[in-house]
Structure 1
Amino acid sequence: MGTTPLATVANTRNRRELLKAIIAASLVTGLEMFDFTVFGFFAAMIGDQFFPATDPMTSLLLAVGTFGVGFFMRPLGAMLIGTYADRVGRRAAMTRTSWMMALATAAIALCPSFATIGVAAPLILVAARSLQGFALGGDIGVAATFVMEAGPVSRRGYLVSWQLTSQGAAALLGASLGLLLSSTLSPAALASWGWRIPFLIGLLIAPVGLYIRRRLREDPAPSATADARHAGAPLAELYRHHSATIVLAMLMMMGQTIPVYAIVYFMPSYVTRVMHMPALTGFMASALSALLLVVIPPLSGRLVDRLPRRKPLALLSSGCTALLVYPVFLLIAGANSALPILCGVALISVLVATGAGVIALLVLEALPARVRASGMATAHALHVALFGGTAQFIVTGLIKWTGNPISAAWYVAPACFMSFCALALFKEQSVRT
């Protein structure tokens, strides 16, 4: 009578394994995303150190161009690491990405400036950004696949949402560090060595990532990996049978990525270089946005798990983003205090956070398990390379060449509308059993 029923023991064990899967996939991906995106928060300082020029906007343009280099390596990482995950295993792939990200982040944190070693400095920086992009390109899609397959269908929205929450937490940590450093260090100290501190903190990815991911059980969907071993190459199957899904997925995700990189991550540089306001204001806006990207996705995930269909919530979020991007830029560009900037960034962040996890889940469920990791990784990496990695460069170029701060919206608003159209064409799979 005093023994615990076997069903209760099994449920407790399953909950424990599910929690471990969420932590391994989400926490470590968040750390890797922090290492990758913190570069964008400190682009202005990095530009001065590695790309000195008489015009500050030229240094910034070269720095955000280097920021984009990492994005162009992400598709290659997605294809190779995603295929490896489908054929060998999700856990093995995620362990390897942790090592690569730690090595690249150490190179950025410790690389001497242009004034010390000359042209070798930007070359090392570009190489490190390339390795970061390669690692993260494979990890995000594989980790999202791992955590989705680890739980029941009825909780998939909630489980996948933690991937977005971890990425928001990474941005929050980066923005908070920027806020702390810009308020405690002098501008000269921040530009000289203070910007390296977040990268040194990001080196935690090595011990934390390897410890957590090595303690995982085997892949939650081992039959999918076994099928992939005996089937043809995953990338060939994706091209033959799922190319339309991949293209629509890229366009759908574009509506979340471009606003985040062109508004949220770019805000510290936009505020200082374009609006000539204190860096503190830009970091406050990014920190608020990141906080919303942490809080909103789990709520959205729970909501979509209760709805009969997933797509309407994604359509609502995407449509509102497309309609409100231009008014938000008008609000920010006309601001003479921090409040309008915070309100505009918060509005876009809430809309993006509501729909991003739902769109990721739609894509994951549309792909068969044997190509799910490579398909999700490839779609995510390609769209980020084409649209996320170029967003800051394009809006910086538009502002520099036109002299009009509103010109950034000329790129962001049409992109969001195109994303809404792609989502309307995407066919939702019925998997609610």
Structure 2
Amino acid sequence: MPTDLTIHQTSIPGVLLLNLPVHGDNRGWFKENWQREKMTALGLPDFGPVQNNISYNEAAGTTRGIHAEPWDKFISVATGRIFGAWVDLRAGDTFGTVFTAELGPGQAIFVPKGVGNSYQTLEEKTAYTYLVNAHWTPDAEYTFLNLADETVAIEWPIPLELCELSDKDRAHPRLSQITPMDLESRSTTDPDSPRTLILGANGQLGRELVKQLPNATAWSRSEFDIADLAAYADVDWTRFDTVINAAAYTKVDEAETLQGRRDAWRINVHGVVELARAAIAHDLTLVHVSSDYVFDGEEQEHTTEELFSPLGVYGQTKAAGDAVVMTVPKHYIVRTSWVVGEGPNFIATMRSLAERGISPSVVDDQVGRLTYTSDLAAGIQSLLAESAPYGVHNLTSGGEPRTWFEIAREVFAEAGADPSRVSPVSTQEYGEGKNLAPRPASSILA
């Protein structure tokens, strides 16, 4: 029996063979069948198993497979012995590559999604056990290969004509009839895929994401409310690899009211909690859009490492949502500021005032950068397509920081109106007699 835990790469990329220390005495034996900390330290992917399955086989010669599933597997033998055969059924140069090995209690093997898995029992009463990182579903997309395929030519210890096989396994296609499993189109490297889900599709950013990612799945709030706990049970999350959360409560001033506070916490925090749970449970990449309002604006420029210091209810809920998303292993928090897109926004308001001959007073002591939804959506695509490091990313449009007053005068000028019609006013003066939420003085994101 092995005395040290070791991991070895096989002839199939990503398929790893493990030797497991087995400790025995007159009573029997003991082993650590799955030990996350030790195994990941030696190079096993931290694949996040969610289900444990056991296949008991009464007779020697029982043969099962060859099945390639859309999830990763960690396989071992609880009792007995098997001959295992694995065939790479993924699209690529190694399609059709075979690896075989005998496994007893002292061995285990990690099989990534898309690699065909099969085994033949060499002893009676063999128990074959495997951990998987997705819950089984009858709608999962499998790829199958015939156990007797002449191309891969597996040398089964017990001839297949003498073995117990299911009728389904006997009828599986040959290698030449198989369409390789295309995992590339199922990954975060292709954001414009039906496996990318856009939430909040009717918002300013949501509409732009739908425009730039026409093949992605897009749901508005009426189709999926992120704060509705019951709605999650109706979603087949195995359809997705990536979720872009563009849904949020953004009524900054109304958030200071009793009902607004409740709505802001419901959507920006409780909804994000449920979304994070789904992402963790189903190994999804979660892209979450955040805000400069998580800071008090005392720092001239906000880095991704700055600690939260929100002033108002809206900022508090966005900071709480960020903290929740940080618990998701595969997450992007996209922090942005002063978003302008299709629909009501500051630029549209100023242009309308200019055209109607109205001369507004605009605050001149808040400074930041505009973020056009076209830039924000393109930036999110880049993070995913380039497999950027998970974590917090600041993302705004370019240019020098300006005050709202300076931006308003520029809009007036572009509209053919006299920019001097826009008057400067301090935040304190502008807020007199109004129920306004506190705002950061500096919204500049590094």
Instruction: Tell me if TM exceeds 0.5.
Output: no
TMscore range, shorter length:
under 0.3
Normalising by structure 2, what TM-score? 0.26
If asked which structure has higher relative contact order (CA below 8 Å, sep 6+), I would say 1
Instruction: Select the structure that is richer in strand.
Output: 2
